Structure 1
Amino acid sequence: VKLYLNRRNLSEVRNLKYYLFRSLKNNLLDMLKVSVDTCSIDDYQYKFTIKWNILNELIAEEDKKEIEGKLNKLLSSLTGRQREIIYLRFIHELEYEEIASLMHMTIQSSRKAVSRAIGKMRKLKVAFLFIIICLW
């Protein structure tokens, strides 16, 4: 509500998740300052804990190895240039203009190359894995 009411005074947001976390933290600190008159926030120690089960770690590691194996198999079906373009586009999240500049091609050619690489992977019936990897 505070963000909405003060929306005209807010600066430009580049990373929404960070901005919301920072806003929440500042709001909690403001509430703490109002409730405690004699103490400063520096007197409090934050206890940020996450319960993590060793079984979760083992499962995550096993899943990671399986996904990496499938990804390597998927990428090995592409040409070297297609692998490089996929790497630049999805791993480093470069724009088509940036890829075109790096690869010495036109912007249209970079779009077409990405499209062809994705099409080739779809033909292998593993497109869902590619999407999971990109979101991972």
Structure 2
Amino acid sequence: MREQSAWDDRSMWDGLVDGQQGAFTALVRRYTDTLYDYGMRLCTDEELVKDCVQEVFLFIWRRRQYLQQPVSLKFYLMKAVRNKIGRELPKWQMKEQLQESEYQFPDFFIELDEQTATPPAVRKRLKSYIDQLSPRQREILYLRFYEGLRQQKIAEMMNLNHQSVYNLLRGALVALKKKVDYETLIAYWCFFFVLLSFS
């Protein structure tokens, strides 16, 4: 039997389509934590997020013979989880269905890496500035700087046009720049430079 680490995304997908249980297991093990982490940034209901991640995996297994191989498996799964949570969130909250044009997630959470050399007080201020951004701006910052997605992929993920993504991302960065003092500004630019260098 093939070791879990031996599966790359392409062979994992091919094995999945062929009905290989090992490929499906490798897929679940590789991406569960990533999808759960992303889902918890969209909403704070842990059970909802777990259910949605599980449902996405089950859907892929059941429909595997009819699915096209995605260009990016990680992106495909993240978008599927985002869409699933967006559909299920109003039901779990026992509220009226949100209109398709409305933004579906009232909050989006970003944590700053405590392992960086940024002083805790500066990191705390930067976090407070990020928290003042809109949920859409925070999600775009996360997708761009944490997940390394390009603007075209972000637009597809969030069902926005390219110009809207550009405007929201630029607006978020300008808003942060206006709020921060010099010390935080230096830490802020270093923080995003480090994130970009690894994306």
Length-normalised TM-score, structure 1: 0.49
**Larger Rg, first or second structure (1 or 2):** 1
Length-normalised TM-score, structure 2: 0.35
